[in-house]
Structure 1
Amino acid sequence: MKRSSGARLCSTAAIGALSLALLTGCSSDDGSKDSKDSKDSSSATASAASDAKASTAAELEKLLLAQGDVKGYKVDSGDDTLPKSKTAVKTDKAACDPLAWATAGLAPGDTDANASNSVTEDKSASVTASPSEADIEDAFNVNMTFVGLSSYDGDGAEKAMKAVSDGVTACSGGYALAAEGEKSKVTKVASEKGTGGGDESVAFSEDVDVDGEGTATFHTEVIRKGNTVATFYTVNFAALASGKATSIPAAVVQAQVTKLK
């Protein structure tokens, strides 16, 4: 992966580990009512999941963040450097595919219902008529977050989250990635604490080899709300060049999750 193609790093960062919540039923020793209620509740939950119908791509587009939804950020339709199809993203381990897909704003699970855009810090108000070198450098010091939404029938969203969680474990030692002709090497994947929200959330960091001269660390978060899965991946090219850490803006995550049904 060449430094001149830094923008394509957007499609190489991976996702962190998802902690799945396990539902357990309780029963008392002095009767069967609690057990019955628990079974009824579990059955109702399972039934609701099996009856879930995926939203269309057009419906997901309407759920994406729009201009004005997050103060201090600009919303764009997307970025041409990101792959438009899963076929353009290949890894050397099938278990790592959901990580690469989510990072590229693609659905981490089995669905064709997908929509994405980008949300970028707006520093235009601070740019002067005669910017100094420091002003110009600061103009590039912005967080750009790629947001992807995908929707699933039945329990597909839960399966997508499990695939991400399993992938973090299976790919902790790294994997090779090819995205639209650019080859990269992820050397490490690790779970971390994210903003959270929704019904399930996963956050992870990924170390990517930079021309054999060191590594750059990226962060991704995946959140499920109902049968919709949202993915967040942030890149800051100024921070990348200086080696500084970049985090996913909590305001962007919270605003997007709030818009989901």
Structure 2
Amino acid sequence: MKRSSGARIGAAIGVSALSLALITGCSSDDSKGSDGSKAPESSSSPTQAAKALSTAELEKLLLAQGDLDAKQYKVDDGDDTLPKSKTGVKSSKAECEPLVWATAALPPGETDAHVSNTVSQVPTSAGGEIPEDFADALNVNVTFVGLSSYEGDGAEKAMKAVSDGVSACSGGYDFTGEGETTKVVKVAPAKGSGQGDESVAFVQSVDMDGDGTALFTTEVVRKGNTVASFYSLNLAALDSDKASEIPAEVVTAQVGKIK
């Protein structure tokens, strides 16, 4: 994958870093696991009787422009470079596909009910003005947000598929989408927001066509029988050794809209 198309990693197929071997959260919370991850809410939630929301219902829960500060974020309907269905994405390891799907704003589990959009930071200079320098204008996060809904315990199974994938794919894997093959060198757990009933975050180290690697972060959050996925890309940071960061306010706003 060439550096020019590497900028499309998350946009094109979700090459984000779905290194989610770990369910995220603060280690000080008694409800969280010994690894600092946030564990599922115990037992009594009525997930077995849960009914999946329709695509139309999910659309109403997806972030809209009025849900975030318009001076800081712009919400768009979606991204044409993202695959429209799972059939457009293939992995060298089946167990890694939930990571790729979540990164591409597709459902990580078995459901047809899903929607997605993009949330972009509004680029500004230190003085608060729109920057004239092209490089400065690229120095913003673009976050791909996906929502999917499931029958019964399908959402919990989707989360398990992601966390299992983080562990199984830690040594890397390849995936093909949009006619391009991308090599993920490593998948590692990351500290996520710890929101919702259950959350998992991971970072993927992606080979930039032999010219080093770039680090991409993905987080998946379950609230009831709805799963939200977040993947952020910063074009100006592709050459750095830092993982992309998912804006906390985007996760908070989106999870807050899920009933």
TM-score, normalisation: structure 1: 0.86
Range moving further from structure 2, 245-254 or 142-151:
245-254
| Cross-structure match for 1:21 | 39
Q: CA RMSD in A?
A: 1.7
Q: If each structure's helix is expressed as a fraction of its own residues, which one has the higher value?
A: 1
| Cross-structure match for 1:126 | 129
Equivalent residue for 1:197, pick from 190, 195, 214: 195
Partners of 1:13 and 1:246 in 2: how far apart? 9
- Runs of 4 or more, structure 1, over 3 Å off, are 241-245
Q: CA deviation at 1:23?
A: 7.3
Partners of 1:63 and 1:212 in 2: how far apart? 40
Q: CA deviation at 1:115?
A: 0.3
| Cross-structure match for 1:157 | 155
Alignment pair present for 1:76 and 2:76: yes
- Structure 1 unaligned blocks of 5 or more: 25-41
Q: CA deviation at 1:2?
A: 1.2
Q: Give the match's secondary structure for 2:56.
A: helix
Q: Give the match's secondary structure for 1:126.
A: coil
Partners of 2:7 and 2:208 in 1: how far apart? 13
Q: CA deviation at 1:6?
A: 2.8
TM-score, normalisation: structure 2: 0.87
Q: Is the 8 A contact 1:7 1:81 kept in 2?
A: no
Q: Deviations over 1:211-253 (max 9, x none)?
A: 1121100000000000000000000101114555421100100
Q: Larger Cα Rg: Structure 1 or Structure 2?
A: 1
Alignment pair present for 1:89 and 2:92: no
Partners of 1:138 and 1:60 in 2: how far apart? 35
Partners of 1:167 and 1:248 in 2: how far apart? 20
Partners of 1:7 and 1:116 in 2: how far apart? 19
Seq. identity, %? 64
Alignment pair present for 1:260 and 2:258: yes
Q: Is the 8 A contact 1:83 1:179 kept in 2?
A: yes
Q: CA deviation at 1:4?
A: 2.0
The letter for the 1-side match of 2:16 is A
| Cross-structure match for 2:33 | none
| Cross-structure match for 2:135 | 137
Q: CA deviation at 1:136?
A: 2.4
Q: CA deviation at 1:69?
A: 1.0
Q: How many residues align?
A: 236
- Structure 2 unaligned blocks of 5 or more: 24-37
Q: Give the match's secondary structure for 1:230.
A: strand
Q: Is the 8 A contact 2:74 2:122 kept in 1?
A: yes
Q: CA deviation at 1:21?
A: 2.6
Equivalent residue for 1:208, pick from 201, 206, 209: 206
Partners of 2:48 and 2:191 in 1: how far apart? 30
